[in-house]
Amino acid sequence: MSFDYDVDFDNTDFRQHPENYRVGRGEQGVLLVEPYKSELLPFWRFKTPDIARESAEQIYQMFEDYKANDDFVGMDMARKFIQMGYTRSRRYANYKGGKKYDENGNIHERQIDEQKAESARIFEEKWKQIRADEEYLRKKKAHQKTYG
């Protein structure tokens, strides 16, 4: 099922109401779902490989903490922030200033920034760990079966 953008995000605590959460595709809803957004966003950084490493480790630890608390929504939101760390780092690695398109809608030529590419690799490694986590996959399947 697709991510449900019709939910009242301003007034829904998804920890209290996990039934309202839909996994969606990729990073859908990553900056909408509370209280997780507020818990995870302060740690999401990728400017340098050292900063990215610290960020990815912190968010991955939060993933593990959510898992220990049987909180699938938190686990999936941590996964989304890790995935977003990868995709945004990759965008900034490929395009100066992170801007893929110019003002006319044409794609800028790639200018690889090795530092940002390393940041992307750091997040990608954690993202792969999460995607292979058997407990996460079981909980994801159960959540989707129960709530859509």
Q: What is the DSSP letter of 5?
A: T
Q: Position 47: which residue type?
A: K
Find out whether 76 and 32 touch, Cβ atoms under 8 Å. no
Q: pLDDT tens digits for 40-72?
A: 999 999 999 999 999 999 999 999 999 999 999
pLDDT at 123: 98
**Res 95: pLDDT:** 92
Quick one: pLDDT at residue 148? 83
- Cα three-residue angle 9-12-14, rounded to 5 degrees: 105
Q: What is the pLDDT of residue 1?
A: 57
Structure tokens at 135: 């407990």
Q: What is the 3-state secondary structure (H, E, C) of 23-83?
A: CCCCCCCCCCCCCHHHHHHHHCCCCCHHHHHHHHHHHHHHHHHHHHCCCHHHHHHHHHHHH
- pLDDT for res 4: 81
Whose CA is closest to 143, among 8, 4, 10, 22?
Answer: 22
Separation between Cα atoms, residue 2 and residue 55, nearest integer Å: 28
For the chain, residues with pLDDT lower than 70 are 1
pTM here? 0.91
Residue 97, phi-psi category: left (phi > 0), alpha (psi -120 to 50), beta (remainder): left
